[in-house]
């Protein structure tokens, strides 16, 4: 069972907003004793954790193998909404190997996010 996946972010507010559009719920947005801003997003049964380190700029991640895969509902409607909000589509809507709709977008820090239509099962 996945507890969380942790990443650096340049802009925690933009990142929490992005994952909120994908159905995530922000559980924490705090400053740690070390002075980092920490955000935790619950998505389904898992959690994503992000740290914004003030004064430090993490490099964007663009390699396809490093990505987050999410089941979402209504991908055909969601994808244009994400594009209108500024998300970059790196792989347009297409059938996945299993036959579901899928697409890849970049989050605000340039991480690949695979969006796979949730069949509700």
Token pair listed for 61: 């991640």
Question: In 71-103, which positions are buried (b, 16+ CB within 10 angstroms) versus exposed (e)?
Answer: bbeebeebbeebeeeebeebeeeeeeeeeebbb
Q: What does the pLDDT look like over 20-65, one tens digit per residue?
A: 999 999 999 999 888 889 999 999 888 898 988 876 555 555 455 5
In words, the CATH class of domain 5-117 is alpha beta
Boundaries of every domain in the chain: 5-117
Residue count (the chain): 121
Average pLDDT estimate for 77-104? 94
Closest CA to 31 of 12, 17, 16: 12
């Amino acid at each position: 069972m996945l507890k969380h996946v942790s990443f650096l972010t340049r802009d925690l507010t933009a990142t929490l907003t992005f994952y909120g559009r994908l159905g995530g719920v922000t559980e924490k947005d705090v400053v740690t004793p070390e002075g980092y801003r920490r955000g935790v997003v619950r998505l389904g049964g898992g959690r994503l954790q992000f740290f914004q380190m003030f004064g430090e700029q993490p490099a964007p991640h663009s390699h396809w193998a490093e990505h987050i895969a999410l089941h979402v509902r209504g991908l055909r409607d969601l994808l244009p909404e994400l594009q209108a909000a500024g998300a970059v589509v790196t792989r347009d809507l297409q059938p996945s190997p299993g036959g579901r709709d899928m697409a890849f977008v970049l989050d605000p820090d340039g991480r690949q996010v695979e969006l796979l239509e949730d069949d509700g099962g």
